[in-house]
Chains A and B, each alone.
Chain A
Amino acid sequence: MKRFVYINDDSCQNSYCDNRISNTKYTLWNFLPKNLWEQFRRFMNQYFLLIACLQLWSRITPVSPATTWGPLIIIFIVSASKEAWDDYNRYLSDKKANERKVWVVKDGIHRQMKAQEIHVGDLVWLHENDEIPCDLVLIGTSDAQGICYVETAALDGEIDLKTRVIPSISANLSPEQLGKVKGVVECPNPDNDIRRFDANMRLFPPIIDNEKCPLTINNTLLQSCYLRYTEWACGIAVYTGNETKSGMSRGTAEPKLTAADAMIDKLTVAIFMFQIVVVLVLGFVGNIWKDTRGLKQWYLMYPAKGPWYDFLVIPLRFELLCSIMIPISIKVTLDLAKAVYAKFIDWDEQMFDHETRTPAHSANTAISEDLGQVEYILSDKTGTLTENRMIFRRCCISDTMYGNDNGDAVKDVRLLNAVSSNDPDVIKFLMVMALCNTVVPIKSNDGTVSYKAQSQDEEALVNAASNLNMMLISKDSSTAEICFKGSKFYYKLLDILEFTSDRKRMSVVVKEGQTGKILLLSKGADEAILPCSYPGQQIRSYLEAVEMYSQLGLRTLCLGWRELKEDEYKDWSKKFQEASCSLDNRECKIAEVCHSLERDLHILGVTAIEDRLQDGVPETIKLLRNAGINVWMITGDKQNTAIQIGLLCNLITSEPNGQLLSINGNSEEEVLRSLERALVTMKTTRETKDLAFVLDGWALEIILKHSKESFTRLAMLSRTAICCRMTPLQKAQLVGLLKSVGYLTLAIGDGGNDVRMIQEANIGVGISGREGLQAAGAADYSIGKFKFLKRLILVHGRYSYNRTAFLSQYSFYKSLLICFIQILFSFLSGLSGTSLFNSISLMAYNVFYTSLPVMTIIFDKDISETTVLQYPQILLYSQAGRLLNPSTFSGWFGRSLYHALVIFLITICAYADEKSEIDELSMVALSGCIWLQAFVVTLDTNSFTYPQIILIWGNFVAFYMINLILSAVPTLQMYTIMFRLCSQPSYWITMALIVAVGMGPVLAFRYLRNLYRPSAINLLQQIEQTNGCVQTSRDLEPALESARSNLTNLLTGLCRNRGLNYQPLLSDSAEAAR
């Protein structure tokens, strides 16, 4: 499973594809068959195709085949043209990328060619700000140290610059030599892991170096990144075209099915079964009628003996007659409505983050209804609830705590004194802060240094160190320069032992420029560093400091160092080299080697970094919890920090109104026992008490292994949970656990570690925040701030659900209505399967008359946004699916049956005897349907805006216009019919009668229910109306503002009562707390 890339050797790698990027799904030739195949994989389409094919058999079809073929073809054309348009746009953007000019060096000659002509093994020459056309192994740069900077935002969304270095083997090659270099790169087959590239490279003579040189992701330039701050760089193409890392990670996401969609599917199946029963019964009775009475009707000339399939003809006819029970247009209608819901989210000005200038965006247009049915929210902490703007606040250096008095260690006089008096521990502490990181200092033209870092914590630490006179001035792949009190110190960077989420620490090995001492500098989480201390070191004070800081909601890191002996380092370095070269299981091997070095550390101290809560988080969580949504916080952070943040943002309540059940222990048994205890407490405690449980990643691992069931039960009982120390995989596992018991989950996060959780959940929401756009890219919805979640769920989600609930059930109602009339008519036509309506009317009924007015429901609001946000409990209605379920559907079913009876009976009574001409009578019945449905939509619309009024009644007018026009065409069956009807007073009287009888009981029933058994929605509508003012949600802002300040006071008091050394993270002044 390896790929050998021969550099600049055209003869060896013909088998690899060229660099032509293709994101298109179709080609010109396979579009039609492939698209048809895709569309016909849906059950509904197969069903309608079968119906349409049956209609071609003229012996059984009651209406012209056009009634099904027409809509079916229209629907197909609509979906196909949408696909074609999307694909064409992809083709255009591909073409642009493919035809971009790039420089390629062949045998020392620079040539310009199209990007698509690059082959594996070519040497690509890039200039500053060029986009990288394919995956390259970097072998030369303009920089003397062999580094270059790339911007990877397009790949992983991280906006900071990354450093890339050339492998040691190709250092010291002149640009001329580079152009002629020959060699072989041994690399894995293409994959989509943008963090790994485990490969080797060997160069051929004249460069004599037979050593295999290891390559990592740091030696690569990946497609779609940009070269920055580097004059030129060159690299060997190893993966091209669609086989690049970015190409492989592009995947088409599986379409998600919303709970409402699943319910609609279920109802469709139910209707389908009902239809089969109707068809069988009517077919059976029809055959009996034919054999008994039909044969006597001489004018029908029934042959005494028909063909063998005769007994099938009548049932099949009824099948075709009843096929309209399942509305053919429901899919298109719903897709259209969903697209509009998604647009409303994109357009929403109140979800526009003015600070970062990002609007909300719904990448997935198909799942807005699910937002209104969310039951569990699983939220990341850092960057989601908090701002992810790290500020160094406190530290503890050799038993002395700094920053306790004023809440800012950088301004703590004692620390400043310690720095100026050259306290060795403090200096070492600052040195680790400045050096043990992967920060890139960027010197601007005016001499000031700014830092680009992948981790916000590191940036905060380096900035704090520089404020304390320990300034990191420059850094490249091998050296770092530090300026302390004006004098410069040089360090040789020997190795970087990288941070991984398993190791939870990172280290660097440096050689001091002046003394030549080799030092190991480490930093990491307390539980990852403190156990590595040398035997005999007192770490109690550090543990206390960690405990205290995390109770304040601060993020802590422990720093340590150790001096390495020359030969110890050499031994280790060899092993490290080996591990770095291994092609398989490299990460694990490296971790093992690293661990062997990171021991016997002198612990220097603890840093505490503040991460402030985002604006509006406590109110949002309170609102969401009031709305009946269970909110879980899932974080990689420490338990105490997490609990503190949980308290601050209303997630958990302190004693006596709340209780936090901790699930932990030192052994598996203890953990499982505490789980059982928590479960018992959860079951027995009063409902009013706010219970929550807290557990960490270790406990979760044990629980998932041994006691998944009781944990699931606990999860179902608990409204709140705090899960800390979670790995990305565990986050996703928790989501999966809740999903597996049927809850609708929403995961929200901002960083790369949340991506799995976001993809696993029913709805993934990404915060387009400071940790890059990775989460936002993977998510269904991206928002700028956590506080917009309340609007996303309560306003957009709720409205979308309500609208879809009406739209889908109405689609069934209108189809059932016309179908019931056909069935009723069949009882009067000898059960022979005659269609009462002509083909044109049937087709137009589904496509025009009934689908347009109902689309106006996408503007409908049952209660205003303000009221929803005021009474979030109302979400329960959509959450529990109370507006779209078998019971509401049976209401619609009953209504359609009733309306069909009303229309049919009144029509045949009013148009009896000499008026019973079939064309006239069918048009009367059809008009009855149109009249009734206009009133049904009107009655079920909660708020009328002008598009609604125009569409509902415009459609009504359009019906008469269309039919009058059709009545003027002499060749049509309905020639003159509408003119005749419109001139009869009895026609209009009949219509009024149908409306009165059809709508009267519905109106009376609804009135009585609204008045005497109102639902909460009705009540809120009434409250809204009787209070007489229609507020826009803009008016709500002042009210929210005051609520926010009240809450802050409340929280301050609350925490003071607990007797904690508490510093409010919501307010800036430390004095306010004390």
Chain B
Amino acid sequence: MSLSGSESDSLASRRSKKPKYSKFTQQELPACKPLLTPGIVIGAFSLIGIVFVPIGLASLSASQAVVELVDRYDAECVSANDKVGFIQDTKTDKACTRTITVPKPMKRPIHIYYQLENYYQNHRRYVKSRSDKQLRYKDSAHMIKNCEPEAASEDGAPIVPCGLIAWSLFNDTYAFSVNKKSIEVNKKNIAWDSDKSNKFGSDVYPSNFQKGDLIGGAKLNDKLPLSEQEDLIVWMRTAALPTFRKLYGRIETDIMASDEITVVIQNNYNTYSFGGTKALVLSTTSWIGGKNNFIGVAYVAIGGICLFLAMCFVVLYVVKPRVLGDPSYLSWNKETPDHPN
């Protein structure tokens, strides 16, 4: 009879419903359950302390070995009371001479930075106002959608490079002499190689740049392709913070202690209208970068705190020992059950 067939079928299908046993399906995968025992925690904190303090000291000494000279010149280089008026006047001579005495010997290469404060390169209007396509490809000169309000000249021709970033290119210049002897500033290779080869086209030349009524910052040499306009490339790597330094060039000679550096600054760039500051920075480097004590100090401090905490935990554990996993602490085993219901 067909019934018996179907019955055995249904029986078989029922059988197959039995869950297959595996450690995964039964949630019985081998597991390790580390507890925060005093040993582990005190050990972890001690270890952090022991590792962090030396790293901190190493970073600190590296940072201390860096010789950094910062010379803020924005106030001193303008004698007039109307600073904004002075800086906006294109006719006046804005040359300004600064003298810096070197306290410690500086090994080459010595990096020259300009430092701007209170300058919002990270402002949304600013960071968006560029056209990467236009900078890279000759045929994309018309791609100026994001560049407003510095997108095209009055007759509608696209500006290359367009946008606020390029338009506001920093245009102070520095001329150095050590002990009255002028030295050369190497301005080659101050931009990232990857930018020069892949972000800025070697066949893209500036056009219509700084030709409008409002002149923002520096002008560009129309004969040089963008990939060789390194000041522009550096400037267009926008900074994330309102205080930033950008590489100006390098001095490829060593400078002795108590040497006198004379800098002739062409003080062109307007930071006066918004209360920004300008500074010239000369700095050597180390494996950790420029002079920055933060990491060293933080490491030493954290390491110290960790060691201190580890010690506290040890003391606490000795003074007030607690047996791990004592069932008598369970609330329902206590005399007065603190039932929340």
Contact = CB atoms under 8 A, between A and B. Distances in A.
Nearest to A293: B274
A832 B113 contact: no
A62 B322 CA distance: 53
Interface stretch (A206-214, A269-277, A340-348, A547-555): A340-348
B330 interface: yes
Looking at B3, B325, B340, which has the most chain A CB atoms within 10 Å of its CB? B325
A989 interface: yes
Contact of A976 (B192, B292, B331): B192
Interface string A123-148: 00000010000000000000000000
A149 B340 CA distance: 58
Given A828-B242, A1004-B309, A909 B294 contact: yes
Contacts of B239: 916-918
B238 A910 contact: no
Given A836-B240, A861-B27, A910-B294, A989 B274 contact: no
B149 A834 contact: no
A969 to B, nearest CB: 10
B36 A834 contact: no
Given A298-B274, A913-B115, A1014 B329 contact: yes
Given A913-B115, A914-B289, 5 more contacts: A297-B274, A916-B243, A996-B302, A1003-B45, A1011-B324
A1012 interface: yes
B306 A1000 contact: yes
B156 interface: no
A943 B31 contact: yes
A873 interface: yes
Interface string A341-383: 0011011111010000111000000000000000000000000
B28 interface: yes
Contacts of B320: 1012
A892 to B, nearest CB: 19
Contacts of A298: 168, 216, 270, 273-274
B122 to A, nearest CB: 4
B29 A359 contact: no
Nearest to B274: A296
B223 interface: no
Interface stretch (A108-116, A595-603, A1020-1028): A1020-1028
A922 B240 contact: yes
Looking at B59, B126, B306, B313, which has the most chain A CB atoms within 10 Å of its CB? B126
A914 B290 contact: yes
B322 A829 contact: no
Contact of B243 (A912, A993, A1030): A912
A357 B19 CA distance: 10
A1021 B35 contact: yes
A368 B25 CA distance: 16
A986 interface: yes
A443 to B, nearest CB: 15
Closest 6 pairs between A and B when the two form their complex, measured CB to CB: A1022-B325, A347-B25, A299-B168, A943-B31, A1023-B325, A945-B29
Given A906-B298, A913-B245, A970 B198 contact: yes
A301 B149 contact: yes
A317 interface: yes
Nearest to A1033: B28
Interface string A906-930: 1011111111111101100000000
Looking at B120, B198, B243, which has the most chain A CB atoms within 10 Å of its CB? B120
27 contacts: A228-B3, A296-B273, A296-B274, A297-B123, A348-B25, A357-B17, A359-B19, A828-B122, A828-B241, A829-B120, A830-B120, A910-B292, A913-B292, A914-B111, A917-B240, A944-B32, A945-B29, A970-B194, A989-B59, A992-B52, A992-B55, A997-B298, A1011-B322, A1019-B327, A1023-B326, A1025-B325, A1026-B325
Contacts of A975: 194, 198-199
B288 to A, nearest CB: 5
Contacts of A1027: 325
Interface in B298-341: 298-299, 302, 305-306, 309, 313, 320, 322, 324-327, 329-332, 339-341
Contacts of A1072: none
B29 A349 contact: no
Contacts of B298: 906, 909, 993, 997
A2 to B, nearest CB: 39
Contacts of B132: 973
Contacts of B325: 1019-1027
A343 B309 CA distance: 45
A119 B273 CA distance: 89
A378 B108 CA distance: 84
A569 interface: no
B329 A1019 contact: yes
Contacts of B192: 976
Contact of A829 (B26, B122, B150, B332): B122
B38 to A, nearest CB: 7
A832 B164 CA distance: 16
B331 A301 contact: no
A365 to B, nearest CB: 16
A1050 interface: no
Contacts of B309: 1000, 1004
Nearest to B242: A828
Interface of B: 2-3, 6, 14-15, 17-21, 25-36, 38, 41, 44-45, 48, 52, 55, 59, 111, 113, 115, 119-127, 132, 149-150, 164, 167-168, 192, 194, 198-199, 216-217, 237-247, 270, 273-275, 287-290, 292, 294-295, 298-299, 302, 305-306, 309, 313, 320, 322, 324-327, 329-332, 339-341
Contact of B244 (A916, A996, A1019): A916
Contact of B330 (A799, A973, A1016, A1032): A1016
A799 B238 CA distance: 49
Contacts of B41: 1003-1004, 1007
A628 interface: yes
Contacts of A913: 113, 115, 243-245, 290, 292
A984 B285 CA distance: 13
B56 to A, nearest CB: 9
Contacts of B59: 989
B151 to A, nearest CB: 11
Interface in A836-874: 836, 859, 861, 871, 873
Contacts of A993: 295, 298-299, 302
A352 B18 contact: yes
A989 B18 contact: no
B17 A834 contact: no
A47 interface: no
Given A344-B27, A913-B115, A944 B18 contact: no
B215 to A, nearest CB: 11
Nearest to B126: A300
B164 A990 contact: no
B199 A871 contact: no
Looking at B14, B45, B124, B242, which has the most chain A CB atoms within 10 Å of its CB? B124
B322 A943 contact: no
A333 interface: no
Contacts of B240: 825, 828, 836, 908, 911, 916-918, 921-922
A317 B124 contact: yes
A545 interface: no
A834 B122 contact: yes
Contacts of B38: 1007, 1011
Contact of B295 (A944, A986, A1004, A1014): A986
Contacts of B36: 1003, 1006-1007, 1010-1011
A344 B22 CA distance: 11
A343 B274 CA distance: 64
Contacts of A873: 330, 332
Interface in A970-1002: 970, 973, 975-976, 984-986, 989-990, 992-993, 996-997, 1000
Given A1000-B302, A1022-B325, A834 B123 contact: yes
